[in-house]
Amino acid sequence: MEFSVKVIGRVHSPLRDRAMAPKQGEEGSPPALLVFDPGVRDALSSIKVGDRLLLFTWLDRAERDVLRVHPRDDRTQPLHGVFSTRSPDRPNPIGLHRVTVVSIPDALRLQVRDLEALDQTPIIDVKATLAGLSE
Amino acid sequence: MEFSVKVIGRVHSPLRDRAMAPKQGEEGSPPALLVFDPGVRDALSSIKVGDRLLLFTWLDRAERDVLRVHPRDDRTQPLHGVFSTRSPDRPNPIGLHRVTVVSIPDALRLQVRDLEALDQTPIIDVKATLAGLSE
């Protein structure tokens, strides 16, 4: 059984390929711009500068038939089931990123920091973080 | 543009409808069983009892055309854009749940606690939590 996930925006970032990208957002990510489709304008309306958000992306350059990986691409480590890792390669390549809003150039664009996603990565959801919870 | 998200398992829970469900997993959720499809067996192979995992679901009883909500269904609060909330109603109704593995009855089943998802909710991904990061 399958569901259809809609692309609601795109990441604009200087990161062009996986070799350039840090493994996690806080490991040296450059600033990025999130550009949303006009259809989701109202869903963005309460976001403020300084907000910490969860950004969900669709990692369209990942491999969907990989079930086991070497964690962090370190071949000295044994193979792990992907569900015990943060590997982008997995059956549904959903990316989860914690970002902070740096500026809001207009109603459809958010500048954020700490985002390791590649340029043109599709955005599929945004959620509030839950205070005090480590997700 | 759209992508196809595959259902990789189902939640089994005594929670049958949204009126019964707590707003967040730690607000009184009953134990739940995650039942996975045989095709993802290898992806589950490194999960151990006690692991804290991020569970991604597809909230198939949510409304996808809702862009603004009263937070926590409290009508005394002003309408918020859904991307500043954890409402299940949103363009792509992805659920994010932090769960702890209580037991592993067999290679395709995990018993977990702190899950507020409804019975039969489709599972779409599982990830490791990142130590020390509040997502």
First-last CA distance in chain B: 27
B43-95: per-residue pLDDT in tens? 999 999 999 999 999 999 999 999 999 877 788 889 999 999 999 999 999 99
Q: Which of B4, B83, B134 sits opposite A43 (nearest CB)?
A: B83
Q: Which CATH architecture has domain B9-60+88-128?
A: Beta Barrel (2.40)
pLDDT at A133: 44
- What tokens appear for B52 in the block? 């804290």
Q: Which residues pair with A110 in a beta bridge?
A: A34
Chain B closest CA to A66's CA: distance in Å? 8
Task: Spell out the domain ranges in chain B.
Answer: 9-60+88-128
Residue B135: which pLDDT band, with cuts at 50, 70 and 90? Answer: very low
Phi, psi of A3 (to 5 degrees): -125, 160
Residue A72 has pLDDT above 70, yes or no: yes
**Contact yes or no for A4 and B7 at CB 8 A:** no
For tokens 């299940």, what's the residue? B88
Is some CB atom of chain A closer than 8 A to the CB atom of B5? yes
Q: Residue A20's pLDDT band (boundaries 50, 70, 90)?
A: confident
Contact A81/B124, CB-based, under 8 Å? no
Q: Does A65 touch chain B (CB under 8 A)?
A: no
pLDDT at A135: 43
With cut-offs at 50, 70 and 90, classify the pLDDT of residue B133.
very low
Average pLDDT, chain B: 91
Cα separation of A68 and A134, whole Å? Answer: 25
Question: How far is it, in rounded angstroms, from Cα B81 to Cα B24?
Answer: 19
Between strands A32-36 and A109-113, the pairing is antiparallel
The reply to whether B8 touches chain A by the CB within 8 Å rule is yes
pLDDT digits (tens, 9 = 90+) for B11-35: 999 998 877 777 776 667 889 999 9
Between the two ends of chain A, the Cα-to-Cα distance in Å is 27
Looking at residues A6-18, what average pLDDT do you find? 93
A113 pLDDT band (50/70/90 cuts)? very high
> Which pLDDT value is given to residue B21?
74
| Whether the Cβ atoms of residue A25 and residue A115 lie closer than 8 Å to each other | yes
Residue A35 touches chain B, beta carbons under 8 Å: no
Count CB-CB contacts under 10 A for residue A40. 22
Q: Does A108 touch chain B (CB under 8 A)?
A: no
Q: How far is A14 from chain B (nearest CA, A)?
A: 23
Q: Do B54 and A129 touch (CB under 8 A)?
A: no
Q: What percent of chain A has pLDDT over 70?
A: 92
Give the nearest chain B residue to A99 (CA atoms): B135
Q: Which of B77, B12, B44, B4 is nearest to A124 (CA)?
A: B4
At residue A68, the pLDDT reads 97
Cβ contact B85–A127 (<8 Å): yes
